[in-house]
Structure formats: C-alpha cells, structure tokens
Amino acid sequence: MARNTLTRDQIVHAAIEHLDTDGLEGLNMRALGKRLDSAATAVYWHVKNKDNLVLLATDQVWSELELPDLATADWRTAATAMATDLYAMFTRHPWLVQVLAAHVVYGEGKARHDDHHLAVYETAGFTAAQADQAAAAVFTYVLGNAAGTAATAALTRKLGDGSTAAEEQVQAAMTQAREIAMRYPRLRARLETPAATGYAAAPDGTFELGLRALLDGLARQHTGKAGDQ
C-alpha cells in the first residue's frame, strides 16, 4: 500500500496482530510494513515511531473491555466482571504485560476503563482514597496473575523459532528445576500435577479463588462484613 492508502486504524490493527504472534520484541516497522504490503516508510507517515505505535495498539486493545452497568450490578459483581474481563484481555494479548513493564501507558481507552473501575467502588460508598486503593489492589492482582501467561507466551515463541539451542536450554533448565524440587517433600509430591508440568502454570480456579479473597477483604474493610453491599 502507498502511504495515502494506509490509515492509522489499519496500521494499529496490524500491529496488534503482529504483537499477538511475535510479542513486543518481534515488532518492527519493516515487518509491519511487510504485513501491510507496504514500505516501512509509509507507516511512519501515520505513526511517529515504534513506541508511539505500541501505545496506540495498547490503547486500542484496552477499548475492548466492557464496562458493567453500575445502575443494575452490585459492586462485587461489577468488580468481579471487570477483573475477569481484564484478565481475559491480558490472556488474549500477553504482550501487554511487557508493555506495562517498559512503557508509561495512557490513552482514551485505558482512561475510560480506569475511571469506571474507580466508579465501581465510589458508587458503593468507598471514599476516594479507599477506591484508589481497591482499584490498585485489584489491578495489580490481575496483572500478577497474567505474568504467568506472558511468560508462557514468550517461552512458546522461543521454542517455536526453530532453534534447537533454545529448546535444549529450556529443557535443561526444567530438568534442573525438577532435580531441585525432588529435595523438598511438598514440591516432590506435586511434580506430576498440572501446575508442575506446565511452565508458570497454576491449579484450576486459582485466579477466581484469589479474586474472591481479595474482594472479601475489601468488603470487610468497607462494611465490616464480607459480602455486604
């Protein structure tokens, strides 16, 4: 495509697809231009640089999130829905974890989400300061759980690059990890469980269990009784 037939939206959506398959480290303007059947120089007419493109892609993805109706949903239901949706977004786009570690992330999509997340708690009667703490606690909990998905995606790319050395390196590391675990009784007993056989894996229901416990704690702090309101 020539520069006058490209649009910013086309570039941003192509960048998201590229990031989903190749991660943050795999994104470059030449590869993106090839995906768009265009010269890399044509892309630069629409975005300033790679960092600018990453921020545009990140904000576009943040706009995928649905915002619960606070007039019909209680705060626990709304908070659970937003956290679950956010976790699903990180799972669909694991490169976002890399972006948050390397960039100052901002934009309309993220601001829309963050403002509504604060409204979940303020509408329930939390003070502004309590809402700030609650929203930050839930966000960091979701992000921490998504780190495992991001690590798995990065490892999968590494093993899929056709490099025998990469696969041998990972297998050697996993073998050494198992050997160390054998010296500890509780780890040894869990070596054949799904959480042990998958890299950075966790037992089924771990995310949901932790989220309920976190929201129970917020409810107790706010009302003195878990599950109220």
pTM: 0.84
Residue the block writes with tokens 């909990």: 141
Distance CA 138, CA 54 (A): 24
Close Cβ partners of 204 (under 8 Å, ≥ 6 residues apart):
194
CB 84 within 8 A of CB 38: no
Find how far residue 107's CA is from the centre of its chain. 16
Phi, psi of 80, rounded to the nearest 5 degrees:
-65, -45
Scored b (16 or more CB within 10 A) or e, 134-166 reads: bbeebbebbbebbbbbbebbbeebeeeeeeeee
> Tens-of-pLDDT digits for all 229 residues of the chain?
455 578 999 999 999 999 998 888 888 888 888 888 888 788 888 888 999 999 999 999 999 999 999 999 999 999 999 999 999 999 999 999 989 988 999 999 999 999 999 999 999 999 999 999 999 999 999 999 999 888 877 777 777 666 677 677 777 888 888 899 899 998 888 887 766 666 667 788 899 999 999 999 999 988 764 444 4
Distance CA 174, CA 225 (A): 44
For CA atoms 96, 98, 101, 103, the dihedral sign is negative
| Nearest CA among 167, 26, 177 for reference residue 94 | 26
